Chain A
């Protein structure tokens, strides 16, 4: 299987390599083979990295917490309310995946900027005198932008999970006397749960791993761990091993939190 080989060579090997690299040491522009946990110690003792990590996780969780319910509601509507147009609506939502990643981020900067579309429109209409500065260069701007980018990706798994729920399931429950809310809790949510889980993973991981959005709309105060990682590879004073360690610390934090949150969701829905 050539594709399997391609994955092994260009995905498996580099990921393992990056992990090994995170235990090495940078000296000037050279990477010295000198195994240690020094990079991880540096991250664990640096208040700056910790602050960035906390912000990154927070932005990731908030984004996922907005994206997943929105995607759930959309999938519900497509499946049970606009049944006949469901496919068309799905296509429309998915099409926005191909509306240009950089273009969208830049567009949000255009809209939210200090002299941007929203502020200038409000001023033109005479609703405000001074531009609203908080719109851009904040975590809000990052979250608004990321939500728009990740929403279609979150719809995909939830929608396909809901496709397994038939009208028969629902009618059977209704015949047995279930009310609407009860129905949602006992049938809809448990059956859609695998999709919700996948959507949450997508949204959380990809939001926490993004660096282009905070760089363009987050401002200097809104930088996330991804920006620091990118700088360790492309910036001045690059430090590859440290960047690799930072990337894995972030991935590990996200994965641990993901497991915790998914367990909590399951406990709530089991009840």
Chain B
């Protein structure tokens, strides 16, 4: 379909786009090691000084713990709720209703985070719940849910529901069927989706900022430093955040791969 010349053009375009997406990230990591306070060329030497500065920031430890706590909550709660929602939606027989449910579940991903952030802040204010980590946690779960549902829905579309029926026919209780059949089969996908939620939570800034009050998370801390002007320890902090995100997403992707190979295994097992 495509001749050689066009292929070259296509490759150039692709490489240019990937460069455009990843160059900014590379710049941040590069400058986190650069031996000058100003972010400009040429780079003369390398240093770990900025990492030292970043760790010397007394707010870093609390910010880190808060970020990790929020990520854990998001992974558990959004992972659980999202999986339950995807399962519930699958059981809906009428495709129209199911489609509408899934579309509605994606709404928080389309509404600007600013609007979600202020709407939540106003709700908590009306309820008399002062801004805190707890309020931010509710927001994080909400922001992560659409992505968990999307991931789990994609997995469940290839899920073989007849094995569940067999289990029920053989007398297993719904709980037992879930524990012994369903969960082991979907575990890699659930894990992948939960880690995705953790990554989203770790990176979440807007909703957090409107709801967390005077507490810190890593992005809130980075934002505060950015507003103060140029400070190379931002690059170091940002690189640390990037590293954590990459780890989470890689593990999430790996569990996704295992999920894709799971159905074939289950078929072999059934033959025995």
Q: Which residues of A contact B (CB under 8 A)?
A: 1-4, 6-7, 10-11, 13-15, 17-18, 21, 70, 73-74, 77, 80-82, 89, 91-93, 95-96, 98-104, 106-108, 110-111, 113, 115-117, 119-121, 124, 148, 151-152, 170, 201-202, 205-206, 208-212, 216, 226, 229-230, 233-234, 240, 243-244, 247, 251
Residues of B near A1 (CB, < 8 A) are 84-85, 88
Given known contacts A96-B21, A103-B222, A234 and B203 CB-to-CB distance under 8 angstroms:
no
B interface, size bucket: 35 or more
CB distance from B120 to the nearest CB of A (A): 5
Query: Binary interface profile of B, 114-125, with partner A (CB < 8 Å = 1, else 0)?
Result: 111011111100
Residues of B near A111 (CB, < 8 A) are 23-24, 27
Q: How far is the CA of A2 from the CA of B78 in the complex (A)?
A: 11
Which residue of A18, A96, A119, A151 contacts B118 across the interface (Cβ within 8 Å)? A18
Q: How far is the CA of A17 from the CA of B120 in the complex (A)?
A: 9
A to B CB contacts below 8 Å, 26 in the list: A2-B84, A3-B105, A10-B123, A10-B139, A10-B142, A11-B108, A15-B111, A18-B115, A18-B118, A70-B17, A73-B13, A77-B13, A92-B18, A96-B21, A98-B246, A101-B219, A102-B238, A103-B238, A103-B242, A104-B24, A107-B27, A110-B28, A116-B39, A121-B41, A209-B113, A233-B118
Among B25, B114, B209, B248, the most chain A Cβ lie within 10 Å of the Cβ of B114
Q: How far is the CA of A183 from the CA of B152 in the complex (A)?
A: 35
B25 touches A103 (CB 8 A): yes
Q: How far is the CA of A100 from the CA of B112 in the complex (A)?
A: 17
Residues of A near B14 (CB, < 8 A) are 74, 77, 82, 89
Label chain B's interface by main secondary structure: helix
Given known contacts A14-B120, A115-B40, A117-B39, A107 and B205 CB-to-CB distance under 8 angstroms:
no
B142 touches A93 (CB 8 A): no
| Contact of B38 with A by CB under 8 A | yes
A208 touches B112 (CB 8 A): yes
Given known contacts A11-B142, A244-B118, A103 and B241 CB-to-CB distance under 8 angstroms:
yes
| Contact of B226 with A by CB under 8 A | yes
Among A14, A81, A234, the most chain B Cβ lie within 10 Å of the Cβ of A14
Residues of B near A216 (CB, < 8 A) are 226
B205 touches A14 (CB 8 A): no
Residues of A near B23 (CB, < 8 A) are 111
Of all chain B residues, the one with the shortest Cβ separation from A73 is B13
